[in-house]
Chain A
């Protein structure tokens, strides 16, 4: 059945669509006139000149055969993608890792676009076809195909934004910001003898516990760089644990500016990922975040 369909996307998903410009979710308008489509609908039934042999068989033929799926636009989209794939499947491909990294729309965004309750599993099939199409070698990518894929891409490409690389400045300092709980630390690292100043004070004046001092300098200790760098940190907010671990993260980031190859070692030491946990909020009916009041008889 699919082979009979012409190779065109429906007007709803075409790039010239006014909806794409306005970024509004499409609305399905009720209309009586049939749009000009590739499908040739059957001519209106002239019951007087050609009376049906059996009047009960007379019916209106829908514009697209997908009409009967209940989700005609998304089905048509899928079928059109399959047709494109069939047409271009002989083109050379690249391994998946080398294909351009594209953030496809999420299923929710797609539902808003087509205005149909598309199932996640069905959308996943579309994504699979898209990923296969994306693997076609970029040098031979047909413009028609890239135009067809364009509408499935997210409006803002997260992979396109590149973080500004941190560099060692002219004074030989590397800078890193670390956060933990409600503490925030700005850490400057220079090559040196292992001297540490936190908020202008020596580290034993800031952190009374040796444990906190060790965790603040854990990035340097885990990489055996304790006596190679001097640390100058400004830390605000939170308690001693949070401040110490914020310095850890900032130091690790600053250290990776000097020695980017240390990233795996630092990740193994747990100094790369920011711990996103914060104090859990208190809930109504609870004494604290989770604690419930004691049960009292009557």
Chain B
């Protein structure tokens, strides 16, 4: 499923601190850190973002050999012996293979043949994404964009895509505003870049706002890099190692970077038209990279070899900042996760490493804070999460101050992280609050649901008003819960 990395490559990097004692002699293959660990996206095909046909393959994967059942009959009955009350044949069913349950859990289903097809559903295009007349309308996402969004994992499992025939989205006010900004960047000579953090209630559509932004970027042929879940970067589920010659030491996540490169190559077909302008430095990248190859080819070289993935990612980013390149969109979901200590630890003190010491995170935050700029314009977008977020007082403070609430003062009992505050100190980061949708938008959405056959009630003013109120003023996730999910 994922690529096996040759043994000699894995040994050069430290895998985890428990293995340090074994550095003198080559470790046994069986004791090595599992390189097959699940990742952002396996280098080839991600099983959890496939449709039903591929999921079927998982189910039919080779079975784990069953142990032979022992004969439970007592051969010699000597005196009293307590009978085992446990049923003898517990494990009748096949145990799921490693990773199978996770793959099912992460599987995103984007179409439902039982759902009614909505007639007259228009597709979003580069014109309609900023046209005010589409305000409060539901527009379908074109198939080619769906594939690319799926490649960057913009669709999330709980978003309810499986209820509809095909993915579609509501053009709310924030969407159209962003569309106009994207259009402005394309026209503007100065090549402005948007640096923005989306905040809002749980279920208000922050992640979906990122999806809509990425849709527009794809429509405009921007290059999109997406980190779908920032928690993956800090939860010690992917391997890591120090980057040589860095003070303070930075840590790279090779496999994650490799899969990220693979994602970039698959989701951005425009990279095939862009060529490498200058030869790579052999001290950075140990293997020779042929000159004048396309950036897509460069990314796929990086994705096939995790050892050089990070240097190639750096080269790719710098190439994308060369003149006459398309604008870049860099998105990250779950901002609070990268604002604290990670689960990784490092010698000599064996203390948790701060998230900002990881290369991908650092690269994202440098762009977000404005330390690195985008000469060709673009957007650096981050979304917070309200259902899965660690408590970061410094982030809360910074975001509330950026929201214009200058009266917020430091809590004398909270611990503030100056590195986190430093990200937002330079200014230029906007904080946009995503709230509830208006009643007109809610009505449009409910009519779409009714046409799709998931809402059976009559959509009239009273119904819309009632559900709008019950959902806390049009919070979309709650609206969906109240109208579609809840069956009385």
Interface residues of A (CB under 8 A from B): 193-196, 202-205, 210, 213-214, 217, 221, 224, 226-227
CB pair A213 B466 closer than 8 Å:
no
Residues of A within 8 A of B486 (CB): 210
Residues of B within 8 A of A194 (CB): 465-466, 468-469
CB pair B473 A202 closer than 8 Å:
yes
Q: How far is the CB of B433 from chain A (nearest CB, A)?
A: 13
CB pair A226 B469 closer than 8 Å:
yes
CB pair A204 B466 closer than 8 Å:
no
Mark out the residues of chain B between 459 and 481 whose CB falls within 8 Å of any chain A CB in the assembled complex. 461-462, 465-466, 468-473, 475, 478, 481
Chain B 431-473, CB-CB to A under 8 Å as 1, else 0, gives 0000000010000000000000000000001100110111111
Please tell me the number of chain B residues within 8 Å of chain A, measured between CB atoms.
Answer: 18
Q: Which residue of A lies closest to B481 (CB)?
A: A210
Q: Which residue of A lies closest to B204 (CB)?
A: A204
Q: Which residue of B lies closest to A196 (CB)?
A: B469
CB pair B475 A204 closer than 8 Å:
yes
CB pair B462 A213 closer than 8 Å:
no
CB pair B201 A205 closer than 8 Å:
yes
Q: How far is the CB of A208 from chain B (nearest CB, A)?
A: 10
CB pair A195 B469 closer than 8 Å:
yes
Residues of B within 8 A of A213 (CB): 470
Q: Given the complex of chains A and B, what is the CA–CA distance between A32 and B482 in angstroms?
A: 85
**What are 26 A-B contacts with C-beta separation under 8 Å?**
A195-B469, A195-B473, A196-B469, A196-B472, A196-B473, A202-B473, A202-B475, A203-B469, A203-B470, A203-B472, A204-B201, A204-B471, A204-B478, A205-B472, A210-B470, A210-B478, A210-B481, A210-B486, A214-B470, A217-B469, A221-B466, A226-B466, A227-B461, A227-B465, A227-B466, A227-B468
Q: Which residue of B lies closest to A229 (CB)?
A: B469
Q: Which are the 8 A-B pairs with shortest beta-carbon distances?
A: A227-B465, A204-B472, A202-B472, A194-B469, A226-B466, A204-B478, A213-B470, A203-B472
Q: How far is the CB of B476 from chain A (nearest CB, A)?
A: 11
Mark out the residues of chain B between 301 and 343 whose CB falls within 8 Å of any chain A CB in the assembled complex. none
| A interface, over-half SS | mixed
| B interface, over-half SS | helix
Q: How far is the CB of A279 from chain B (nearest CB, A)?
A: 28
Q: Which residue of B lies closest to A211 (CB)?
A: B486
Q: Given the complex of chains A and B, what is the CA–CA distance between A196 and B466 in angstroms?
A: 11
Residues of B within 8 A of A205 (CB): 201, 472
Q: Given the complex of chains A and B, what is the CA–CA distance between A210 and B466 in angstroms?
A: 12
Q: How far is the CB of B57 from chain A (nearest CB, A)?
A: 38
Residues of A within 8 A of B470 (CB): 203-204, 210, 213-214, 217
Q: Given the complex of chains A and B, what is the CA–CA distance between A210 and B483 in angstroms?
A: 10
Residues of A within 8 A of B469 (CB): 194-196, 203, 217, 226-227
Q: How far is the CB of A190 from chain B (nearest CB, A)?
A: 14
Q: How far is the CB of A193 from chain B (nearest CB, A)?
A: 8
Q: Given the complex of chains A and B, what is the CA–CA distance between A213 and B486 in angstroms?
A: 13
Q: Which residue of B lies closest to A204 (CB)?
A: B472
Chain B 389-416, CB-CB to A under 8 Å as 1, else 0, gives 0000000000000000000000000000
Q: Given the complex of chains A and B, what is the CA–CA distance between A213 and B475 in angstroms?
A: 14
Residues of B within 8 A of A196 (CB): 469, 472-473
CB pair B462 A224 closer than 8 Å:
yes
Q: How far is the CB of B204 from chain A (nearest CB, A)?
A: 10
Mark out the residues of chain B between 251 and 294 whose CB falls within 8 Å of any chain A CB in the assembled complex. none
Q: How far is the CB of A201 from chain B (nearest CB, A)?
A: 9
Task: Knowing that A202-B201, A210-B478 touch, tell me 16 more A-B residue pairs with CB under 8 angstroms.
Answer: A193-B439, A194-B466, A194-B468, A194-B469, A203-B469, A204-B203, A204-B472, A204-B478, A213-B470, A217-B469, A217-B470, A221-B466, A226-B466, A227-B461, A227-B465, A227-B469
Q: Given the complex of chains A and B, what is the CA–CA distance between A224 and B469 in angstroms?
A: 12
Q: How far is the CB of B483 from chain A (nearest CB, A)?
A: 10
